[in-house]
Amino acid sequence: MAAPTSFLMLYFVCGFSIAFAATPNITTDQSALLALKAHISFDPQNHLTNNWSTNTSVCNWEGVLCDSRHYRVMVLDLSFMGLVGTIPPHIGNLSFLVSLSIQNNSFHGSIPIELSHLTRLKFFHFGYNEFDGAIPSQMGSLSKLRELYLHKNNFIGTIPQSLFNISSLQIISLGFNQLSGTIPSSIFKISSLQEIYLGPNRLSRPMPSIFFNISSLQIIALGFNMLHGGLSTHMFDHLPNLQFLAIPRN
């Protein structure tokens, strides 16, 4: 990841030099967002071109919301702007970010592993873009994440087991990609899960039934994969909140 905009201040005390790292602040956030702006190749409505300027406070930029207590970027929402570009690793420096949404644009390339540094993140929406490559396993370190939307992209590879180590996860949406392999068994550990969207993809092998014991589940969408296997006739006894079920047919 590119070095943060923080710097070292050198003090001389009794002939000795002592280095102190400056604390990241709104300037750190500004540099991260300007790096993102530099990675935008097409901004049809000039949302960022005209608005993201050093002449105004970052907290007044379009799509940006700051925390009034710490004066740091808390929300970044660039959804439905028609943007074309890539996500630079610098975004991982937005350490106070709680919500990150860039849905319905044309972002492409891979997801930088540096986004796993956003440990305060609760909402992550990259749906309806053109991302490719594998879903970084490092995203499993987003321990406060509640909602993860990566659908309608071109992700390949397997679903990282680490995602299901996020005990706070309530919604996971990975459909309409090209993911293969099995549904990780670690999904069974998350008692908070309410909605699971894993199809269409290329998931294969026997369809798990253990996850039907997660009583919080309301929506299960696994259709249009290559899963197979039967379901217990008693599974609905363990799903009192189930509202929608889409599974492969034998």
Does the pLDDT value for residue 14 go beyond 60?
no
pLDDT digits (tens, 9 = 90+) for 47-104: 999 999 999 999 999 999 999 999 999 999 999 999 999 999 999 999 999 999 999 9
- The neighbouring-strand residues paired with 101 are 77, 125
Read off the pLDDT band of 20 (50, 70, 90). very low
Residue located via tokens 């299901």: 164
Check residue 234 and give its pLDDT: 61
Please tell me the predicted confidence (pLDDT) of residue 229. 67
> For residues 34 and 44, what is the distance between their CA atoms, to the nearest angstrom?
18
- Is the pLDDT confidence value at 19 over 70? no
Q: What is the dihedral of CA 34, 39, 45, 48, to 10 degrees?
A: 0
CB 249 within 8 A of CB 230: no
Residue 116: which of 146, 148, 138 has the closest Cα?
138
Specify whether domain 25-134 bears CATH 1.20.120.1200: no
Spans of all domains in the chain: 25-134
Instruction: State the pLDDT confidence band at 4, using cuts at 50, 70 and 90.
Output: very low
Which tops the pLDDT comparison, 208 or 197?
197
pLDDT of residue 243: 83
Percent of the chain at pLDDT > 70 equals 83
Rounded distance, CA 91 to CA 29, Å?
Answer: 8
Neighbours of 1 (CB within 10 A): 14
Res 194 pLDDT > 90: yes
Q: Specify the range with the lowest mean pLDDT, choosing from 36-45, 134-143, 199-208, 227-236.
A: 227-236
Q: Residue 1: its pLDDT value, please?
A: 41
Which of 12-16, 53-57, 79-83, 122-126 bottoms out in mean pLDDT, i.e. has the lowest? 12-16
